[in-house]
Structure 1
Amino acid sequence: MNKMLTSVIALGAGMAAYNYASNNNMMSGRKMRKLGKKMTRALF
């Protein structure tokens, strides 16, 4: 239960950072997609 809660919080923070970065165009789309894949793999 606790581990799931932690991963949900991490996912929320990750999505916020992802949206922030994409809005500011800090990273290229290709890099963002790779990062997203890594995050989902780490969680599931």
Structure 2
Amino acid sequence: MNRAMTSLLALGLGVAAYQLAQRNDWLNNRSMKKMRRRLAKAIR
């Protein structure tokens, strides 16, 4: 798999996990920021 495909996949997974977590109210703000930073790093 090439890089663009991999980052798209990671982004899709991140969005799905984010929505799931929001629906289940798992995340507080602190872990949310951490996840967003990790996603930003994964996309680059």
TM category (shorter chain) comes to: 0.7 to 0.9
TM-score by length of 1: 0.77
**CA root-mean-square deviation:** 1.6
Letter paired with 2:17: A
* Runs of 5+ unmatched residues, structure 1: none
Larger RCO, structures 1/2 (Cα 8 Å, 6+ apart): 2
Match status 1:36 vs 2:36: yes
Q: Provide runs of 4+ in structure 1 moved above 6 Å.
A: none
TM-score by length of 2: 0.77
Instruction: Indicate the percent of aligned positions where both proteins have the same amino acid.
Output: 39
8 Å contact from structure 2 (residues 7, 42) kept in 1: no
